[in-house]
Amino acid sequence: MLKPFEKRGEMDQGILRFTWYSLILLAKGYAIALLVGTPIGFMLGLSKAFTKTFSGKSTTR
């Protein structure tokens, strides 16, 4: 039962290692999105000029 989880050679790293690698990539992606998206979201909420820049249509209000 534990055979798929162990490292059996250079080309067979085991499923646990690849699962861990996938979770690390997922965490890095979420961190980048958080660091980029949060300031952009604040700017979109606070600045009408910034909102118009990223809006596809023009607003007159």
Residue 8 lies in a domain: no
Which of 14-23, 25-34, 38-47 is predicted with the least confidence, judged by mean pLDDT? 14-23
DSSP string, 1-61: --GGGS--SSS---HHHHHHHHHHHHHHHHHHHHHHHHHHHHHHHH-HHHHHHH-SS----
Residue 58 lies in a domain: no
Domains: count for the chain: 1
Residue 47 lies in a domain: yes
pLDDT digits (tens, 9 = 90+) for 4-25: 666 666 666 777 888 889 999 9
Residue 2 lies in a domain: no
pTM: 0.61
Residue 39 lies in a domain: yes
Residue 18 lies in a domain: no
Task: Give the domain range for residue 40.
Answer: 24-52
How far is the C-alpha of 15 from the C-alpha of 23, rounded, in Å? 12
